[in-house]
Structure 1
């Protein structure tokens, strides 16, 4: 035990904390392990000497408070030591190697896993935060105790957030709600999750928190009366049924009430089910008997019974849930579980250290946790950067589960809204990569079908199948999304080259050519023009859909690969001007739906009958076409344009004599020709005109619009797009 000689020193907060820590450790650790923890405290106190928190207390108080949280969960000695030392590498000159030499490599690894990356240059705050979270998760896959330390660290930081500036409070609270509270839930640590949520709610919305707290407190008198009445009624009825139990009633926490008010768009008086009751019994058989007892005591609410004992949640949570109509018509949420299930619900993964046993249910929970960690590793490997990894992870941290059966009767849990493809990847990555269809309850179903509770899904695969980029439009799980992206990013280069060669040969054959017949100098000139190091790189681009085979074939068929648009007469030249770089030798059509002009972001669509049809990038028709066909390509305007282009304006003007003449005169002064004028709508006061005029580019059009807006007769003016 820690010896403190000077009585004055007893008043120091850190000494009180370490004495409390030792009292807790005495309850479950051997004396040599307690001595190691005290040695870690003395080492950490010396390292942090002279450092203070914003609240004014000695810095060492924070790591000791974190260690106390973990000691209450009965974590092992190395974990307690790591908690006491967790800021030593980050905030003092001491290195990981020194920690390993002084204590053990295991303790040093745990401390390093919690330590933030401090030297990250040239990236934004968001990227730095994402990189730190990513590092923590990767460390967590090696040792789950790292996340235990981090959650306890975050909990104490949230408890002492009061001295921080408001903006920093909100930022830390948002990160806690986004990452740490869902993570605690995912690991089954219900107690820490609820504390983090309430503290984050108070930090993010202090006024809402204060008002809601006061309103709940105001009704607390009648609430306590309801809780006592229900508790006594349940205990009496359970005693009559000879079932030994513990009954505890409570009000829901403020964050739960707040989220319910927001999601259902209701006020506090409309929320009646703010009371929850937990009944803990000895055996699983007693759980099911208890359901019958409480259903005979109060009427159950239809459709609100859930059996998480037979079908546990992904985080290992087990309980029976039901909602009853209590005294005065007040809804009551009832949770029925065994004492062991309750320990698992409160401590989650920490129960592995808290109550070491050979129980099958705990082994299953440990297995589920390990499977989830494997999924995190897969997401990490396929994520492009830290921000993408965090976005994928957020999806995975909020599972509202659907239970789906395999043909062999095994249960697979997937998030609500999951599709057949999500399920296939949940079973195995290779099955997801090769799935082509599925049978849902023995009926064929498309891959984008959303799955419902209790269905049986049989995935149909084929060895030649591969992931389709369109799947990214409907899959929702992080594993499916990251696996599809990973496959597409690492698409076999040889296959892409072979596909590109076949596509190019097909287009060349239509021009009575073969790739072998094309002069090498012509190929070399083309590769130089489009900045490709080799023919294989060009063929790969064609195979991956980055280059249009028709355009490449057209260029290779010309003597001058830079190309020129050869038109038969001047009339054709007026209808198909050379305006787009990279489409030389083809007929160009400007889409009439959006009337793109130079300066607009544009996209081209290859239509075998019309050549290249150019749309504005934001045109609705362009978006629809992209979904339906793959023959679209990125294009841009040529720099040496002299032609004028049609643009359409919609004007709301005052309905007076001479209004149209004034508008047309103003347009004419800006060196623009009017091609068409039509009246779309009019009444006694306002007239809506559609005017098609010719402009050189976006700048020219903007100048015309500015001049028209200055006219007192113009009420509203906008450019017409599809």
Structure 2
């Protein structure tokens, strides 16, 4: 029997839990059979550590062949698992001699009782294939379906939530053990950190002083203790790394005799696409960001054109490079019948740029506000104030940048923001004015304000941003 089990389970003899077995046969009355069997179970489990996943209760639900018994596996002397079978004398007779022995045990001789027994046998045989008894037999009746029970090599029992990994078990024993865990041996076989534990597993944790927690571990741990400790440790490591990166940057600025201004540095950090200052200094510390590139961006701030917020009023839409006061030569909009030099403002609700289909609206203040035809407020304006509308078109004289807001959605992958900003920086006559990123459940949503010359440049930029790996959608914000 043991040899057949070794071949069937493809295992070695050290992992056969019922290699040693003890059978307890109780002499008792029919009325007290179940209670006495459970009493014996209680006595045994008080003395020895049981394995809950290996318990087989054929007292409450007998096998379809009439077999009744209570099987438990306990951690016995000599660090060995021992199977204990608990049954009464009647149950043992049925197990050894078959169901017919039950009637002999009860001394039944009459024809009527024999017919009853035959009917019982026929019902069992008919139900064995498709009936409820067969369904009950094949159903996994594990009352511990919300938990798993695992053991240390010394036989200590630990309870963890269903789906817990080997790493969860390491943190459950001790935080230091979890932080240095590199894997483990489960039932004598080497397993990785993300191995999902099963009830009855014997687990030995392997560690290394060179190991350190990683955010990737959060993908497969389920216990709150493990998750909190991983986050805390990684955060502390990042802070230490960020401190080193800050020292390196300050030292390089001092050597180059450059005065470090915090507000200017924040603009550089945003332009490079880093969400936090800590991430920025981390990148310097691990040499994924060259300090020389940071200095180049920092020194180039004085040469930049005004921020996106500075190019949205009438005055701000004059040519930024024009030195003369001839407004008729610098206007980019023609309002009405080729009238130039009129005071106007580009509406903030839709931020029109060169190339958009636009119209003018005379406000109560007497200022003409320029809207896009697809502006969210356009329908309401046309319906309520048709007499205030005035035709408007672009004159074709360029030389300035317009602010446009893009809404971008994608997977919150490492480095995706850097890829986005890199594409924008490579575009000719296109600049990144500001960036705002919000991440939730692995998905990020961001708003980019870019400076572009016209709709052609903006549409080309949108097409290129959509090719970035992880980006799901890019749209111009209305």
TM-score range, shorter chain: 0.3 to 0.5
Whichever structure has more helix as a proportion of its residues is: 1
Q: Which has the higher strand share?
A: 2
TM value normalised by structure 2: 0.39
Larger RCO (CA under 8 A, 6+ residues apart): 2
TM-score by length of 1: 0.27
